[in-house]
Amino acid sequence: MEDNTPPFNSIFSIDCLVFGYEAGELKILLIERSEDPFKDWYALPGYIVQQEESLDHAAERTIFELTGLRDLPMKQFHTFGDVDRHPKGRVITVGYYALIRINAQKELRSISSMARKALWHPVKTLPKLAFDHSDIFHTGFAKIRRRLTHQPIAFDLLPEKFTLTQLQGLYEAILDKKLDKRNFRKKMLSYGYLKELVEKQRGVSYRAAKLYKFDRRKYAKIFQNEMGPSAAQQ
């Protein structure tokens, strides 16, 4: 790692875990760094927080600039402040996560001059990341896994209309274990916030499955007290 830029004093930044789900796999958005330190390494997309900008805003801006998506429910999960986490100076970073629908059509933009490109990478086979980004990933992913059981965050990853089997596949990908089909369906439907559509799956060479929608309105009514991150945005 060569480095000839001058050192700096304290700054803060945000780093984002952006999860997506594609081809039955859970993926995360990474950038490939084009500058030292950690030139050519993969890293989490991150940004320095600007003087007149809240943390939440910085996180949303990062996602927007990478994916073109606005108003995503970004959630803070932990702040990393070890003295030596950045070789060039003191950087305290706030970890955020978002769960989004991958839009295969839309091209990813590089987030800054530091990044050669951005890409979706399966979480199952993540390489070592720059800085302490591997730690950040593990901390955040563990949090999401715990949250999944209590809050309806999975729907942010799926297309608007989905089958119960797709939903189950997603749960299995996040929790990394097989679930029982009958129990899973019973439980999901018992929550009462899935809306069954008349529309069915099309273009499959087997019995077409019913499609469902996540009904935010119903969810909010049912769980008025313990608001989930998805519900929080309305």
Give the footprint of DNA on this chain (CB under 7 A). 163-165, 180-183, 185-187, 204-210
Check if the beta carbon of residue 138 is closer than 8 Å to that of residue 146: no
Q: Which does 79 bind (CB under 5 to 8 A by kind): DNA, a copy of itself, none?
A: a copy of itself
Q: What angle do CA 176, 121, 1 make, to 5 degrees?
A: 120
Q: Which does 82 bind (CB under 5 to 8 A by kind): DNA, a copy of itself, none?
A: a copy of itself
Q: What residues does 43 pair with on adjacent strands?
A: 31
Q: Pinpoint the alpha helices (H) of the chain.
A: 55-67, 133-148, 164-175, 181-191, 216-222, 229-232
Single-letter amino acid, residue 171: Y
> Applying CB under 8 A, does 224 fall inside the site for a copy of itself?
no
Q: Which does 204 bind (CB under 5 to 8 A by kind): a copy of itself, DNA, none?
A: DNA
> Looking at residue 226, what DSSP letter applies?
S
* Span 13-52, contacts to a copy of itself by CB under 8 A: 49, 51-52
Q: Which does 215 bind (CB under 5 to 8 A by kind): DNA, a copy of itself, none?
A: none
| Least CB distance to a copy of itself at residue 31 (A) | 23
Rg (CA), the chain: 19
Positive or negative torsion for Cα 87, 88, 91, 94: negative
Q: Among 3-11, 24-32, 174-182, 185-193, which window interacts with a copy of itself (CB under 8 A)? A: 3-11
Token pair in block for residue 157: 């990853």
> Binding string, 192-221, against a copy of itself, x = CB under 8 A?
------------------------------
Distance of alpha carbon 92 from alpha carbon 134, whole angstroms: 16
> Applying CB under 8 A, does 55 fall inside the site for a copy of itself?
yes
Q: Which is nearer to a copy of itself, 13 or 163 (CB)?
A: 13
Q: Which is nearer to a copy of itself, 89 or 122 (CB)?
A: 89
Residue with tokens 């940004």: 47
Strands 115-122 and 194-200: unpaired
Q: Which helix (H) or strand (E) holds 91?
A: strand 91-99
Residue of 25, 37, 39, 76 interacting with a copy of itself (CB under 8 A): 76
Q: Which does 4 bind (CB under 5 to 8 A by kind): DNA, a copy of itself, none?
A: none
| Residues near a copy of itself, by CB under 8 A | 9-12, 49, 51-56, 76, 78-79, 81-83, 90, 92, 94
